[in-house]
Amino acid sequence: MSTTEVTAAVDALEALAAHTSTSTSAPLARVLNENFAVARERILAGSPPKLVIAELQANLARAKKDVEKGLKAWYAALGNVGKSVDKSFPPNLSAISAAYDDPPLFVDAAASKALDNIVLDSLGQRGLWDSVEAFEEETDLHYDPDKRVLSEELYRIVRDIEAGNFSSAIRWATENKDFLAAPPHPSSLPYHLHRAVFLSITDRKEALAYANAHLFVYMSTQPVLSLVTSCLYGVADDSPYANDAAPLASMFTTDYCRRHGWAREDPLEVVVDLGSRGGALNAIEKARRVMGERLGNVRKWEELPMEVPLPASRRYHSVFVCPVSKEQATDSNPPTMLSCGHVVARESFTRMVKTGKRSAKCPYCPQETSLTSAQRLYF
Ligand SMILES: [Zn+2]
């Protein structure tokens, strides 16, 4: 959940408090007192009261305008805090939960156990063993001991990597080298681990010996030569040959999870993230509020009635939207490629074929495609 926007809005509000023109009512009181004091003295000194009071009114009107200006900034900043909170957190969780409670959620034993299992798994996947044990006591569920051993190994190695010690990771990569090198997605983890060790060696001769022993085997797939020669240019931060640190801990986690058939990301985290930061819950709630009864029971929706744009990291597969019907392709209405290479949904294509004809003209170019030569595409 992103709270950076909230922090920024609160900071802006606090900055106003530090500014003398907007900070407290003190300036207002001062302006009033000063003006009243001056006016009183002038009247006592014999100035015509009518004139003095007219001037006093003008001065106060000006002061009031200044104060209003300051207040406007306050209200704007305060409004921004509210808006950022609304944006970062789903609105009114209890009302939302009530709307989704028909039929009630997680009441039957199987559903409630499934939910507990997901929570337990999530705690284990984060290495929070104290919480895992407390949860086990409360629910009678048990975290798979084999999985715990593996999960602990994963955390131990990740901690080593973060501390700049790559030997345990390299040992693991060596033990699993056949798996890591296997097609269709051979991993570049071993190269990046050795690269990190190479970059940490300050003695050039020693570094070169390390490269000879461990890096040159990756010549065919990795930029080993430019890595090794880049060290000739020293370690200046602004050097165009500077080597950025690779995100080794997350690379390692990805391969470790892949090795054991685990999801790379904690499923519970993914779901919560999509609902909150991804904005899905906000979008659903807005639609429910605006459309009300017409949308029917939220729990019976087959698909969302509106588009929810997700962060790029949460897009797992490509989707095809037919340029003719603007509908998203499905298994029963798949993307279909015409002879010319243009792609439409199959239903759009069959609609384009006029009765009695065996072919249709492409909507984008003059080429005809016969019913038999249109091909289904798989993304
Ligand atoms: Zn075409």
Between the ranges 14-23, 262-271, 275-284, where is the mean pLDDT highest?
Answer: 262-271
pLDDT, tens only, 332-363: 899 999 999 999 999 999 998 888 888 899 99
pLDDT, tens only, 62-98: 878 877 887 888 888 889 888 888 777 666 667 677 7
Strand partners, 355: none
| 324 — pLDDT class (breaks 50, 70, 90) | very high
Distance 361 CA to ligand 1 centre (A): 8
Distance 316 CA to ligand 1 centre (A): 29
Distance 76 CA to ligand 1 centre (A): 53
| 192 — pLDDT class (breaks 50, 70, 90) | very high
Q: Tokens 């170019």 label which residue?
A: 365
State the virtual CA torsion across 157, 163, 168, 169 in degrees, nearest 10: 70
What are the boundaries of each domain within the chain?
4-88, 109-259, 318-379
Distance 321 CA to ligand 1 centre (A): 16
pLDDT at 15 over 60: yes
Distance 307 CA to ligand 1 centre (A): 28
Distance 212 CA to ligand 1 centre (A): 54
Please name the residues in contact with 24: beta carbons below 8 A apart, sequence gap of 6 or more.
none
Q: Whole-angstrom Cα distance, residue 150 to residue 336?
A: 45
Q: Whole-angstrom Cα distance, residue 201 to residue 60?
A: 72
Distance 357 CA to ligand 1 centre (A): 18
pLDDT at 36 over 60: yes
Q: What pTM was estimated for this model as a whole?
A: 0.57
What average pLDDT does the chain have?
84
Structure tokens given for 281: 């819950």
State whether residue 6 is helix, strand or coil. Answer: helix
Distance 265 CA to ligand 1 centre (A): 41
* Record: fold of 318-379: Herpes Virus-1 (3.30.40)
